[in-house]
Amino acid sequence: MAGVSSKSATKRKIGEENRSYQEKWEDEFCFISGHKEGTAICLICRETVVGIKWYNLFRHHKSKRSSFTEIFPLESNERKNKVANLKLSKKKLTLSESTCRRRVEDISKYMFDTIIQKLKDCKYFSLACDSSTDITSMTQCSLFQSGKEYPQLQNDEWWALTAFLTDITLKFNNLNLELQGPNKIIGQMTNKIFAFEAKLQLYISELESGDFSNF
- Rounded to 10 degrees, what is the CA torsion of 150, 156, 167, 211? -170
Task: Show the domain range for 201.
Answer: 152-209
Q: Is 96 helix (H, G, I), strand (E, B) or coil?
A: helix
Asked whether residue 164 is domain-assigned, the answer is yes
How big is the chain, counted in residues? Answer: 215
Asked whether residue 178 is domain-assigned, the answer is yes
pLDDT 10s digits, 138-148: 777 776 666 67
Instruction: Look at the pTM and tell me if it is higher than 0.75.
Output: no
Say if CB 124 and CB 149 are below 8 A apart.
Answer: yes
pLDDT 10s digits, 62-80: 776 667 777 787 777 877 7
Inter-residue long-range contacts of 198-203, CB under 8 Å, 24+ positions, other chains counted: 199/171
- Helix or strand holding residue 201 (H, E): helix 186-209
Structural domains of the chain, count: 1
What residues in the chain have per-residue pLDDT under 50?
Answer: 1-10, 14-18
